[in-house]
Amino acid sequence: MPLTPMGVCSAEASASQQSTKMKFQYLSVTILILKCLICESAKILYVMPFTARSHYIGMKNLALELASRGHDVYAITPFREPEAPLTYHQLMVSNVSFWTKLFDVQPKVFDMIDYSFESFQTITAKSGFLVNEHVFESEDVQNFLKQDHKIDLVITEIFFNEGLYMFAHKYQAPLVLVTTVGNSFKGNYYMRNPLQLSTLFHEYGRASEPLSFLGRFYNMYLCTFDLLMLKFWYFPRQQESALRYFKDLPQPVPNLEDIAANAALLLLNSHFSIDNPSAYLPNIIEVGGLHIKDTNDTLPADLQNVLDNAKNGVVFLSFGSNVQLSELDKDKLDAFLKVFGELKQTVLMKWEDVPIQNIPKNIVLRKWFPQKAVLAHHNVKLFIGHGGLLGLQETISAGVPILGVPVFGDQYLNILDTVRKGHGEILYYKEINENTLRTKINKMLKDRTYMETAKKIAARFKDRPMNPLDTAVWWTEYVIRHKGADFMKPPKISYIAYQMLDVYLFLLGVVAVIIYVILKVITLIINVFGSKNVTKKQKKT
């Protein structure tokens, strides 16, 4: 059958598409070859054993991206990736929550609101010893250690897993540290970055006015407590714990604090556009929003329909992966449902338990929402969350105001920062009732300045030369190319010398001596003139 003109056009179009497809394939192969030429494939041990999913979400994208670029990545993790690149090798560890081992009777997550800073730090520090157990009880890790591997780089998190920094010494490889809680006191201390205690606040601080005298004094107390606990309690015990598991280490074996101080790179999950601007050494790189990939996430069809048809807008409530909304006290839950039922907006509510009966018609319950995709929808007017950094960064990136209900950890600091910047409000858990909820929610929905400020902050948060993931990959490969990039690190001198404490003490001693001499001279003069006056009086008498 002869081709019609339309058939000819169709055939030509098909041939053109095939040609374009082949060109694209050739281009992709060329780019891959160039990548391999620019940075040879490296063997990377990526240690992320925490069973808190938020920590995994904060770190996994870098591991997967390095693997997709041809590096052999050996990931120690409790979470399996079903569609990982071929060069992503998963060394699985137990996914049992540390909380179940730390407590005889596991508390509700909202009970942690009453924990003091000191008790929370102590409990979290104890999880660091359980991390070591989880890793070395893993059959995959044991088999890996028996094999002869030449590791080019070790990547792990700054949290309470310092014992695992010993992997860097075992394989004589550079160490890269990553934070999932933003800029941290430990990160600055380890890397010998100026502590800047007047403007860089401890991640677990709760001061509503951190720049005030009391706020800065409180911050200094938190950092001092943390430092003393690390040096005199935590590190010695972590060292003992690590050496029980690491055998046949190269001699001499350094202490863990020295290994941390010798880290080649620190990737901070923060950015000056949303955090306090700070001075950083060249091997400290801001990659805030590392977990937010530049992808067009799609919504399920039914949820897309709900959002599209929400003519009055959407209020989205989710407390993330670590805080279960189903553990809310009954009076708090009733307050949420009552106030939500009064709104003209549609309410999306992440609820992990059995469905609630007789809820208002405008509330949609789901055990899980694709949070990033939901927040990106133009009808979302307000997000209500607990203030975890990853969810907060997704909210900031989407330009949505947030009403925060902090529970523990860095959540207070995160939410208080949104209040100061004008795109958020804080609601303390114990103050939740119908009146406070109604007041806060209606205020944020009616006052347009919250949304306008959120949009401005979103624009500056995303305005960068490279996205966070590409930035992290580039600097990681930079460290690989330059064999640890020692030239970016500060001089290897004692902490006292590096902080000029010895010079300050010397000057203080000189000033003290000078003052002492001056006081002695004054005393001598007074005594001399005093004795003369006494002699004259005696003569007159």
Res 434 pLDDT > 90: yes
Residue 520 — φ and ψ, nearest 5°? -65, -45
Q: Supply the pLDDT for residue 537.
A: 65
Which of 23-27, 219-223, 518-522 has the lowest average pLDDT?
23-27
Over range 421-442, report the average pLDDT.
Answer: 95
CATH of domain 301-462: 3.40.50.2000
Q: In this structure, which amino acid lies at residue 121?
A: Q
Q: Does the N-terminal peptide bond of residue 252 adopt cis geometry, omega within 30 degrees of 0?
A: yes
How do residues 387-403 score in pLDDT, each as one tens digit? 999 999 999 999 999 99
- Give dist(CA 92, CA 486) in Å, integer: 32
Where is pLDDT greater, at 249 or 531? 249
b/e 248-274 (16+ beta carbons within 10 angstroms → b): eeeeebbebbebbbbbbbbbbbbbebb
- Burial, 532: exposed, middle or buried (Cβ in 10 Å; 0-12, 13-18, 19+)? exposed
For the cut 60, the answer to whether the pLDDT of residue 47 exceeds it is: yes
What is the amino acid identity at position 93? V
Determine the Cα–Cα distance for residues 312 and 343; give it in Å rounded to an integer.
9
**Would you say residue 25 has pLDDT above 70?**
no
CA distance 247 to 238: 15
Q: Do domains 40-291+467-490 and 301-462 have the same CATH topology?
A: yes
- In the predicted model, what is the mean pLDDT of residues 204-220? 90
Predicted confidence band at 115 (pLDDT cuts at 50, 70, 90)? confident
* Torsion, CA 394, CA 396, CA 401, CA 407, rounded to 10: 60
Using an 8 Å Cβ cutoff, are 168 and 154 in contact? Answer: yes
Q: How confident is the model at residue 541 (pLDDT cuts 50, 70, 90)?
A: low
* pLDDT of 13: 43
> Looking at the predicted structure, is the pLDDT value of residue 21 above 50?
no
Predicted pLDDT at 124: 87
C-alpha pair distances (Å), 126 with each of 157, 233, 316, 366, 484: 16, 11, 35, 34, 31
Q: What are residue 128's phi and psi, to 5 degrees?
A: -60, -35
Measured CA to CA, the distance from residue 273 to residue 421 in angstroms comes to 11
> Where do the structural domains in the chain lie, given as residue ranges?
40-291+467-490, 301-462
| Mean confidence (pLDDT) of the chain | 88
Residue 7: pLDDT band by 50, 70, 90 thresholds?
Answer: very low
In which band, very low, low, confident or very high, does the pLDDT at 323 lie, cut at 50, 70 and 90? confident
pLDDT at position 26 is: 52
pLDDT over threshold 90, residue 108: no
For residue 372, is pLDDT > 80? yes
Model pLDDT for residues 399-412, shown as the tens digit of each residue = 999 999 999 889 99
Please give the pLDDT value at position 535. Answer: 66
Residue 345's pLDDT is what?
A: 96
- Inter-axis angle of helices 389-398 and 53-68, to 10 degrees? 70
Q: What is the mean pLDDT of residues 478-484?
A: 96
Q: Residue 357: is its pLDDT beyond 70?
A: yes
C-alpha span between 454 and 398 (Å, rounded) = 8
Confidence at 19, pLDDT banded by 50, 70, 90: low
pLDDT tens per residue, range 489-539: 988 888 788 888 899 999 999 999 999 999 999 998 888 877 766 666 666
Tell me the CA distances in angstroms from 21 to 16, 18, 34, 241, one per residue in order.
9, 5, 20, 55
The length of the chain, given as a count of residues: 541
In this structure, which topology does domain 40-291+467-490 adopt according to CATH?
Rossmann fold (3.40.50)
Q: Which of 33-42, 56-65, 183-192 has the lowest mean pLDDT?
A: 33-42
Average pLDDT over residues 279-294: 92
Whether residue 162 has pLDDT greater than 70:
yes
Enumerate the H helices of 212-270 as residue ranges.
213-229, 235-245, 256-261
For the segment 59-98, what is each residue's pLDDT rounded down to a tens digit? 999 999 999 999 999 999 999 999 899 999 999 999 887 7
Yes or no: say if 179 and 157 are a contact pair by the CB < 8 Å rule: yes
What would the pLDDT profile of 120-141 be if each residue is shown by its tens digit? 888 888 888 888 888 999 999 9
Query: Tokens 């709760």 appear where?
Result: 206
pLDDT band at 354 (very low <50, low <70, confident <90, very high): confident
Are 357 and 337 in contact, with CB atoms under 8 Å apart?
no
Q: How far, in Å, are 81, 409, 417, 452 from residue 272 at the CA level?
A: 32, 21, 13, 20
8-state DSSP, 3: P
Which pLDDT score, from 0 to 100, does residue 522 have?
92
The pLDDT value recorded for residue 533 is 67
Average pLDDT on 213-227 reads 93
pLDDT score for 140: 95
Q: What is the pLDDT of residue 141?
A: 95
327-343: per-residue pLDDT in tens? 888 999 999 999 999 99
User: Crossing angle, helix 468-481 and helix 53-68, to 10 degrees?
Assistant: 60
Kindly report the CA angle at 521 between 520 and 526, in degrees rounded to 5? 95
